[in-house]
Amino acid sequence: MIEQLPASLLDALQAALPAPGSVLIGDEAQEKAVSAWSRMGNPLAVVRPQDTAQVSAVLSLCHAAGVPVTPWGGKTGLVHGGFADGHVALSLERMNAIEEIDTVGGVMTVQAGCVLQTAAEAAEAQNLLLPIDLGARGSAMIGGVIATNAGGNRVLRYGMARDLVLGLEAVLADGTVLSSMNHFIKSNAGYDLKQLFIGTEGTLGVITRAVLRLRPLPTSQDTAIVGVDDFDGLARLLRHMEKGLAGSLSAFEVMWREFHDLVTTPPARGRPPLQTEHPYYVLIEAQGQDPAGDSARFEALLTEAVEQGLLSDAALAKSQAERDAMWELRDDISQTARNWPIFTYDVSLRIGDMDGYVRELRAALEAEWPGRATLTVFGHLGDGNLHLVVGVGSRDAATKAAVNRRVYEGIVRRGGSISAEHGIGLEKREYLGWTRTPEELQAMLRLKRAFDPKNILNPGKVLQAADPAHPAS
**What average pLDDT score do residues 254-270 get?**
96
**pLDDT tens figures, 183-226:** 999 999 999 999 999 999 999 999 999 999 999 999 999 999 99
**Would you call 82 helix, strand, or coil by DSSP?**
coil
Classify domain 98-216 by CATH architecture.
2-Layer Sandwich (3.30)
Say whether 340-423 and 98-216 share the same fold. no
CATH architecture of 7-91: 2-Layer Sandwich (3.30)
CATH number of 340-423: 3.30.70.2740
Buried residues in 333-367 as b, exposed as e (16+ CB within 10 A): bebbeebeebbbbbbbbebebbeebbebbbebbee
| Dist. CA 393–CA 6, nearest whole Å | 44
Helical packing angle, 231-245 and 351-368, nearest 10°: 150
Residue 473, pLDDT above cutoff 90:
no
Say yes or no to pLDDT of 1 above 80: no
Domain 220-333 has CATH 3.65.10.10: no
pTM as predicted: 0.93
pLDDT level of residue 465 (50, 70, 90 thresholds)? low
Q: Which residues pair with 88 in a beta bridge?
A: 45, 69
Instruction: Indicate if the pLDDT at residue 419 is higher than 90.
Output: yes
Q: Give the least confident one: 27-36, 99-108, 117-126, 462-471.
A: 462-471
The distance of Cα 214 from the centroid of its chain, to the nearest Å, equals 19
Residue 447 reports pLDDT greater than 50:
yes
Return the bridge partners of 251, or none. Answer: 285
Closest CA to 301 of 366, 371, 252, 230: 252
Q: What is the helix (H) or strand (E) element at residue 157, kind and residue range?
A: helix 155-158
Q: Which contiguous run of DSSP H or E holds residue 209?
A: strand 206-213
What residues have CB less than 8 Å from 103, skipping those under 6 apart?
Answer: 126, 127, 128
Q: Give the domain ranges of the chain.
A: 7-91, 98-216, 220-333, 340-423, 436-473
Cα dihedral 390, 395, 397, 400, rounded to 10, equals: 0
Give the model confidence (pLDDT) of 19-75 as tens digits.
Answer: 999 999 999 999 999 998 889 999 999 999 999 999 999 999 999 999 999 999 999
Of 380, 350, 324, 318, nearest to 158 (Cα)?
380
